[in-house]
Amino acid sequence: MGELRSTHTPSNPAAAQFWPAHFVAAVDAALVSYERDVASLDASPDEAVWLAVQRVVLALNAIDDEEGLIETGEREELYRFIEDVLTAAGIDVEALIARRGLDDAELTSPWRRR
Protein backbone atom coordinates (compact mmCIF):
# COMPACT_ATOMS: atom_id res chain seq x y z
CA MET A 1 0.00 0.00 0.00
CA GLY A 2 3.01 2.29 0.20
CA GLU A 3 2.82 3.25 -3.50
CA LEU A 4 0.98 6.50 -2.85
CA ARG A 5 3.26 7.44 -0.01
CA SER A 6 6.44 6.53 -1.90
CA THR A 7 5.33 8.60 -4.89
CA HIS A 8 4.59 11.66 -2.79
CA THR A 9 7.55 11.65 -0.44
CA PRO A 10 9.72 14.71 0.07
CA SER A 11 12.70 12.75 -1.33
CA ASN A 12 10.96 12.64 -4.71
CA PRO A 13 12.00 15.93 -6.39
CA ALA A 14 8.61 16.46 -8.04
CA ALA A 15 6.81 15.77 -4.77
CA ALA A 16 8.98 18.20 -2.85
CA GLN A 17 8.09 20.91 -5.34
CA PHE A 18 4.32 20.43 -5.03
CA TRP A 19 3.74 18.92 -1.59
CA PRO A 20 5.53 20.26 1.49
CA ALA A 21 6.90 17.69 3.93
CA HIS A 22 4.33 18.53 6.63
CA PHE A 23 1.49 17.96 4.13
CA VAL A 24 2.90 14.59 3.04
CA ALA A 25 3.38 13.60 6.69
CA ALA A 26 -0.24 14.52 7.53
CA VAL A 27 -1.64 12.56 4.57
CA ASP A 28 0.64 9.62 5.39
CA ALA A 29 -0.55 9.61 9.01
CA ALA A 30 -4.20 9.59 7.90
CA LEU A 31 -3.56 6.69 5.51
CA VAL A 32 -1.61 4.66 8.09
CA SER A 33 -4.43 5.18 10.58
CA TYR A 34 -6.92 3.99 7.96
CA GLU A 35 -4.84 0.89 7.22
CA ARG A 36 -4.82 0.07 10.93
CA ASP A 37 -8.59 0.66 11.21
CA VAL A 38 -9.28 -1.71 8.33
CA ALA A 39 -6.80 -4.31 9.58
CA SER A 40 -8.63 -4.38 12.90
CA LEU A 41 -12.00 -5.09 11.25
CA ASP A 42 -12.42 -8.76 12.06
CA ALA A 43 -15.26 -9.78 9.74
CA SER A 44 -16.99 -6.60 10.77
CA PRO A 45 -20.40 -5.56 9.60
CA ASP A 46 -20.66 -3.03 6.82
CA GLU A 47 -21.17 -0.14 9.21
CA ALA A 48 -17.69 -0.56 10.73
CA VAL A 49 -16.16 -0.53 7.24
CA TRP A 50 -18.12 2.59 6.29
CA LEU A 51 -16.99 4.30 9.50
CA ALA A 52 -13.33 3.57 8.65
CA VAL A 53 -13.83 5.02 5.16
CA GLN A 54 -15.62 8.04 6.60
CA ARG A 55 -12.81 8.70 9.11
CA VAL A 56 -10.07 8.65 6.48
CA VAL A 57 -12.03 10.80 4.01
CA LEU A 58 -12.86 13.38 6.69
CA ALA A 59 -9.22 13.39 7.84
CA LEU A 60 -8.06 13.98 4.26
CA ASN A 61 -10.67 16.73 3.84
CA ALA A 62 -9.34 18.46 6.96
CA ILE A 63 -5.78 18.26 5.65
CA ASP A 64 -6.90 19.66 2.31
CA ASP A 65 -8.81 22.47 4.06
CA GLU A 66 -5.51 23.61 5.56
CA GLU A 67 -3.32 23.09 2.52
CA GLY A 68 -5.53 23.04 -0.59
CA LEU A 69 -3.16 20.61 -2.29
CA ILE A 70 -5.38 17.63 -3.05
CA GLU A 71 -6.39 17.97 -6.69
CA THR A 72 -8.25 15.56 -8.99
CA GLY A 73 -5.22 13.34 -9.63
CA GLU A 74 -4.50 12.99 -5.94
CA ARG A 75 -8.17 12.33 -5.18
CA GLU A 76 -8.16 9.48 -7.71
CA GLU A 77 -4.99 7.99 -6.18
CA LEU A 78 -6.43 8.30 -2.68
CA TYR A 79 -9.68 6.63 -3.81
CA ARG A 80 -7.70 3.72 -5.26
CA PHE A 81 -5.68 3.47 -2.05
CA ILE A 82 -8.81 3.43 0.11
CA GLU A 83 -10.36 0.77 -2.12
CA ASP A 84 -7.14 -1.29 -2.29
CA VAL A 85 -6.82 -1.38 1.50
CA LEU A 86 -10.35 -2.77 1.76
CA THR A 87 -9.72 -5.31 -0.98
CA ALA A 88 -6.47 -6.44 0.67
CA ALA A 89 -8.47 -6.98 3.87
CA GLY A 90 -10.81 -9.32 2.00
CA ILE A 91 -13.72 -6.90 1.70
CA ASP A 92 -15.74 -7.11 -1.50
CA VAL A 93 -15.88 -3.39 -2.28
CA GLU A 94 -18.38 -3.72 -5.12
CA ALA A 95 -20.79 -5.65 -2.89
CA LEU A 96 -20.25 -3.19 -0.02
CA ILE A 97 -21.13 -0.27 -2.28
CA ALA A 98 -24.11 -2.10 -3.81
CA ARG A 99 -25.56 -2.93 -0.40
CA ARG A 100 -25.64 0.78 0.30
CA GLY A 101 -27.40 1.46 -3.01
CA LEU A 102 -24.52 3.46 -4.45
CA ASP A 103 -22.84 3.30 -7.85
CA ASP A 104 -19.42 1.74 -8.41
CA ALA A 105 -17.26 4.81 -7.88
CA GLU A 106 -19.13 6.13 -4.85
CA LEU A 107 -17.19 4.54 -2.01
CA THR A 108 -16.03 7.91 -0.71
CA SER A 109 -18.68 10.19 -2.20
CA PRO A 110 -20.84 10.69 0.93
CA TRP A 111 -17.93 12.62 2.54
CA ARG A 112 -15.65 13.59 -0.32
CA ARG A 113 -15.46 17.14 -1.51
CA ARG A 114 -15.39 17.72 -5.23
Cβ–Cβ < 8 Å for 91, 49: yes
Domain assignment present for residue 77? The answer is: yes
pLDDT confidence of residue 12: 60
User: Distance between CA 5 and CA 9 in Å, rounded?
Assistant: 6
Per-residue pLDDT tens over the stretch 63-78? 999 989 999 999 999 9
User: Is 64 within the bounds of a domain?
Assistant: yes
Residues of the domain holding 11: 3-99
Give the global pTM. Answer: 0.81
Ramachandran assignment for 64, one of left (phi > 0), alpha (psi -120 to 50 degrees), beta (any other): alpha
Q: What is the pLDDT of residue 34?
A: 96
Q: Are 7 and 27 in contact (CB under 8 A)?
A: no
Domain presence at residue 112: no
106 part of a folded domain: no
Q: Is residue 62 part of a domain?
A: yes
Please report whether residue 11 resides in a domain. yes
Residues of the chain with pLDDT under 70: 1-16, 43-44, 114
Number of domains comprising the chain: 1
Confidence (pLDDT) at 1: 46
